[in-house]
């Protein structure tokens, strides 16, 4: 058996794992990165990136369809058609370019990548079964678990055949005539809206009484209106009992009424679970926080020299959180003093319109016992939004009443995901309402709504 010795061994080459490995390599820490599938993990290969590519393609197709009618901006086109095979090929090209870039960055940083499936022998030793059928034993001083998460199945409706996860939904061979989406969280709605734009009849079933249960109603209302406008059917407060090809998806309501929804494909998007089983991790007997690995502010587990980052450590399950944690761990192993204690982590829902949440909402501030003020500015009063033909939504700010320290930013509207960096930065830097209100914002931009929200919280908005 081939043997390797290294200072840092990373299991999982998703956003958290590969970023940790690259940063460690930059700091001259001998590093081995083990990945069973493709570098880039779920995010680059079957998650964040390909889903946004499909969403963009769907949006472009929808615009072309609209321009085949009576376009208010004067564009006239013939009735467009969709080559879904070419769409998937284009999406795959983006994925290939990005994963190839990650591999190149690993080589540049001196990281040794081992393609294969790892099994943890103990806190210092891992055995990898490579794709070539060889076994490699790797000994390390530090072990970093970055194995991510996987889609959650419904016991009565396991994945297979017509029942698909987000993975299969991102590489369709055809656009289904009838798609039933189980789950009205961000994954279900992002893909459900994309498929509707591509031409599917879409129905969404959700156990909770509202869409996007983790977001407040003020933010989700524009999305709810958009779903109805697109012709997507919603069954809120309903559960699924199973699926059969003849009748479709069996649905039950709170009043025990049951009916079936015909479906050519069923997308199950009820959440993700941490990938902590199947590779010997249980042998370490690490302290757990429910289904997740418990870690402290250093991302250290209950075993000395064993670290964990990303989805295996719990919510929020976000790629950018994993990346930040990866840097923290790498720099500690290199001898620096670091802790993972962010003031806020942006969460973005790429529906149409998009939603961004960073920091406290008015409700969470109240629950925390904070005397806060909040204000919002509508995109209906923003010139740039008008030129983009999308005036739905607003920007909202939450701040302490006594000293105007900004506690949270929220936005719903077209392309508001691009405002998330400014939102997070203002909170991390301890900005006050006056700091944002007195900063000159370029005109005409969507970002002016950020300044106007701060001005309105201070009582002197200019354009509303």
Query: SS3 for 163?
Result: strand
Q: What six digits make up the tokens of 455?
A: 């001005």
Round to whole Å and give the CA distance between 97 and 86: 17
Q: How far is CA 437 from CA 33, 139, 221, 394, 453, in A?
A: 46, 54, 27, 16, 8
- The helix/strand/coil state of 187 is helix
Q: Which of 89, 235, 443, 463 is catalytic?
A: 443
Which of these, 117, 99, 111, lies nearest to 36 by C-alpha position? Answer: 117
Active site residue 404: no
Cα 333-299-417 angle, rounded to 5 deg: 110
Question: What angle, rounded to 10 degrees, do the helices at 15-26 and 319-333 form?
Answer: 30
Q: Give residues with Cβ within 8 angstroms of 335, minimum separation 6.
A: none
CA distance 188 to 351: 10
C-alpha closest to that of 18 among 31, 30, 5, 28: 31
Kindly report the number of other CB atoms within 10 A of residue 362's CB atom.
18
Give the C-alpha distances (Å, rounded to integers) separating 347 from 285, 392, 416.
32, 20, 11
* Residues with a known catalytic role: 443
């Amino acid at each position: 058996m081939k043997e390797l010795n290294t200072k840092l061994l990373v299991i999982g080459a998703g956003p958290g794992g590969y970023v940790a490995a690259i940063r460690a390599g930059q700091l001259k820490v001998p590093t081995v990165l083990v990945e069973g599938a493709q570098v880039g993990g779920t995010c680059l290969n079957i998650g964040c990136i390909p889903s946004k590519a499909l969403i963009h393609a769907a949006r472009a197709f929808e615009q072309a369809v609209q321009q085949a009618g009576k376009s208010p901006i004067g564009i006239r086109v013939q009735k467009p058609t969709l080559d879904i095979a070419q769409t998937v090929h284009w999406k795959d090209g983006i994925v290939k370019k990005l994963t190839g870039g990650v591999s190149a960055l690993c080589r540049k940083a001196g990281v040794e990548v081992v393609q294969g499936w790892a099994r943890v022998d103990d806190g210092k030793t891992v055995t990898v079964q490579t794709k070539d059928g060889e076994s490699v034993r790797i000994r390390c001083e530090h072990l970093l678990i970055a194995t991510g998460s996987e889609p959650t199945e419904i016991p009565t409706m396991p994945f297979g055949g017509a029942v698909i996860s987000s993975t299969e939904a991102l590489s369709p061979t055809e656009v289904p005539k009838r798609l039933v989406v189980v789950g009205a969280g961000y994954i279900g709605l992002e893909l459900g809206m994309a498929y509707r734009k591509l031409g599917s009849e879409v129905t969404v079933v959700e156990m909770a009484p509202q869409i996007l249960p983790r977001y407040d109603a003020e933010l989700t209302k524009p999305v709810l209106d958009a779903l109805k406008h697109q012709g997507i059917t919603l069954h809120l407060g309903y559960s699924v009992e199973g699926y059969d090809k003849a009748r479709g998806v069996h649905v039950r309501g709170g009043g025990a009424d049951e009916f079936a929804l015909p479906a050519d494909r069923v997308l199950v998007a009820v959440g993700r679970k941490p990938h902590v089983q199947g590779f010997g991790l249980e042998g370490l007997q690490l302290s757990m926080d429910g289904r997740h690995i418990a870690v402290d502010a250093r991302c250290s587990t209950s075993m000395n020299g064993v670290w964990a980052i990303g989805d295996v450590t719990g919510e929020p399950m976000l790629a950018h959180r994993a990346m930040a944690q990866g840097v923290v761990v790498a720099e500690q192993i290199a001898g620096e003093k670091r802790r993972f204690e962010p003031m806020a982590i942006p969460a973005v829902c790429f529906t149409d319109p998009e939603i961004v949440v960073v920091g406290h909402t008015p409700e969470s501030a109240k629950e925390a016992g904070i005397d806060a003020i909040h204000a919002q500015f509508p995109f209906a009063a923003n010139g740039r939004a008008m030129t983009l033909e999308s005036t739905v939504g607003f920007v909202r700010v939450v701040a302490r009443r006594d000293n105007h320290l900004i506690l949270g930013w929220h936005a719903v509207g077209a392309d508001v995901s691009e405002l998330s960096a400014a939102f997070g930065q203002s909170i991390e830097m301890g900005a006050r309402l006056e700091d944002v209100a007195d900063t000159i914002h370029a005109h005409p931009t969507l970002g002016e709504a950020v300044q106007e929200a701060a001005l309105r919280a201070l009582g002197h908005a200019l354009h509303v």
